[in-house]
Amino acid sequence: MIHLRREEVAYVDEIGRSGQGAHGPLTRELERSAARALGGRHAIAVSHGTAALHLALLSLDVGAGDEVIAPSYACAALLHAIHYTGATPVLVDIDPHTLNPTAEMVSHRLTPRTKAAIVTHTFGFPADVASIARLGVAVVEDCAQALGARYRGRPVGSWGRVAVCSFYATKMICAGEGGMVATNDARIAARVRDLSTPDLQPRYRVRYNYKLSDLAAGLALSQLRQLNGFVERRRAIAQRYIDALADFSVQLQRPLAGAEPVFYRFVVSVP
C-alpha cells in the first residue's frame, strides 16, 4: 500500500502543473539517484520489474538455446523474463538458513550452455553474490526486495554485471509500478536504453515499450530520498521481533557475515 506523504503529493502536483506526465526530466533524475543507490554508473528506468529482468537478460545476449540459472524459491517474474528471451530456466536450490542459493549450489548447475545466473537477495538478505560472480558466470542481481541492503561494505546491485530492482507497491520504495536496470558497463546500458525506447529510432529492430512515466518516477524519486529512513525503521522493528522471539524454538533467516539486510520481510520458521 502506498502512503502518500507531503513530498509525494508535491511531486504529483508538479507533474500536473507541467503537463509532462510521460517519460521526462523526473525519470532522468530518478535514474541518477537509483544508479548511486545500486552502486552503478548507469541506470535506466522501466515500466516494471519484469521488464527490467527481461532487458537485463537481453543485454547479456541471452536467447534461444541458452540456460539461465535462477533460485527455486523466487517470484515467478524470473521465469517469465527467462522465457521471454527463449532461454531455458535452470532452477537451483536455496540454503535453508539464508534462503538464498550458495556459490556451491550454483556451480553444480553450470553447463556449457549457461549464459547467466539471476541472484536474488531474498527478503532483503544479501546473497553471497561475490562468490557466485567468481564462478565466471554473468550475474544479474535481482534487488527487488533488497534496495538499501549492503554486502561487504558495498550496496547490493554493485556485484554483478547488471542489477535490477522494482518499484511495485509492496517493495522497499514504491510508485505503484516501475523498475530499474543498473550497470557499470556502458555497452549494457546503451543496449537496455535502446531496447526500451521503441520510438524515434533511426533503424528498426524489435524493441519494447518499457518506458517509465514521469508520474511514477516522481513518486519513486520521493520515496528513494527517504530510503535510509525506511531501512532504519525496518531494522528497528526487526530487532524488536528478534528480542521477543529469543526464548522460542524457532528459526530466523540468517544473514551472511558482512551482510546488512533491510528486512523486506521477517521470516520465522517453526519446527
Among 136, 125, 133, 135, residue whose Cα is nearest residue 160: 133
**What angle, 0 to 180 degrees and rounded to 10, lies between the N-to-C axes of helices 77-85 and 49-59?**
40
User: What's the DSSP call for residue 129?
Assistant: H
Burial category of 105 from C-beta neighbours within 10 Å (exposed 0-12, middle 13-18, buried 19 and up):
middle
Among 123, 129, 159, residue whose Cα is nearest residue 144: 123
Half-sphere exposure of residue 153: CA atoms within 13 angstroms, side-chain side: 0
The sign of the CA dihedral 249, 253, 257, 258 is negative
How far apart are alpha carbons 198 and 141 in whole angstroms? 25
Per-residue exposure over 214-232, b if at least 16 CB sit within 10 Å of its own CB, e if not: bbbbbbbbbbbeebeebbe
Place of cell 527478503: 123
Burial category of 16 from C-beta neighbours within 10 Å (exposed 0-12, middle 13-18, buried 19 and up):
exposed
How far apart are alpha carbons 13 and 17 in whole angstroms? 6
**Residues belonging to the active site:** 171
How far apart are alpha carbons 98 and 258 in whole angstroms? 13
Neighbours of 244 (CB within 10 A): 9
